[in-house]
Chain A
Amino acid sequence: NAGVTQTPKFQVLKTGQSMTLQCAQDMNHNSMYWYRQDPGMGLRLIYYSASEGTTDKGEVPNGYNVSRLNKREFSLRLESAAPSQTSVYFCASSLTVTKGYTFGSGTRLTVV
């Protein structure tokens, strides 16, 4: 099925380790986003890419970097993981702002 694919689904990291969360969409959407979901905090935007070749910070960008590799792929990198980055991460894409987002199924990350 067409949609947004995130890998991995689960990951446990030790403090200080690095990793990259992968996201790909096959809907030819222009914009892509990374959110984190924490209890009582809702969905908070980490970074987004309005179009291929551009990236911008969201509400909570500290400790993360992103790459918009091409129109399909948008990766999120944690250079030195911290326990505060334990969360569920969602990638999303959209064609236009009024069409809303299509979300991936999420990556549950635990940093110990």
Chain B
Amino acid sequence: DQQVKQNSPSLSVQEGRISILNCDYTNSMFDYFLWYKKYPAEGPTFLISISSIKDKNEDGRFTVFLNKSAKHLSLHIVPSQPGDSAVYFCAAPETGTYKYIFGTGTRLKVLA
């Protein structure tokens, strides 16, 4: 049973436009979410997080939105740049543990 789901394996966006990456979860007890970015041949790096007490968190061009009633979060990148081309993972910590559960990732390609 996949508790964190990214249903779009890939996404292509024109440079300068908005990229929207989606993530759904099944466990209503999750209270914290993170997004990671991964370039080829590198480890994932932390991008942005959001606590369940908020519905939005913004950091420069990156904004994460959380809809708790829908168990859905999304990452918006505005404007998208070619350097944003990477695989993006959403993740949530398993309640009461030190473990993060990751989605399967979405490969974003920003076209110049």
Q: Closest A-chain residue to B103, C-beta based? A: A42
Top 4 closest pairs, chain A to chain B, by CB: A103-B43, A42-B104, A43-B102, A97-B93
Shortest Cβ distance from residue B57 to the other chain A in the assembled complex, whole angstroms: 13
Per DSSP, chain A at the interface is strand
Please determine whether A98 and B93 come into contact, CB atoms closer than 8 angstroms.
yes
Which among B36, B91, B93, B104 has the greatest number of chain A C-beta atoms within 10 A? Answer: B104
Please determine whether A106 and B43 come into contact, CB atoms closer than 8 angstroms.
yes
Complex contacts, A31 vs chain B, CB 8 Å: 98
* Total B residues in contact with A, Cβ cutoff 8 Å: 25
Asked if A74 is at the interface of the complex by the 8 Å CB criterion, the answer is no
Q: Closest B-chain residue to A4, C-beta based? A: B43
Please determine whether A101 and B46 come into contact, CB atoms closer than 8 angstroms.
yes
Residues of A within 8 A of B (CB): 4, 31, 33, 35, 40-45, 48, 50, 58, 90, 92, 94, 97-98, 100-106
Please determine whether B32 and A101 come into contact, CB atoms closer than 8 angstroms.
no
Chain B residues 66 to 112 lying within 8 A of chain A, measured CB to CB, are 89, 91, 93, 97-105
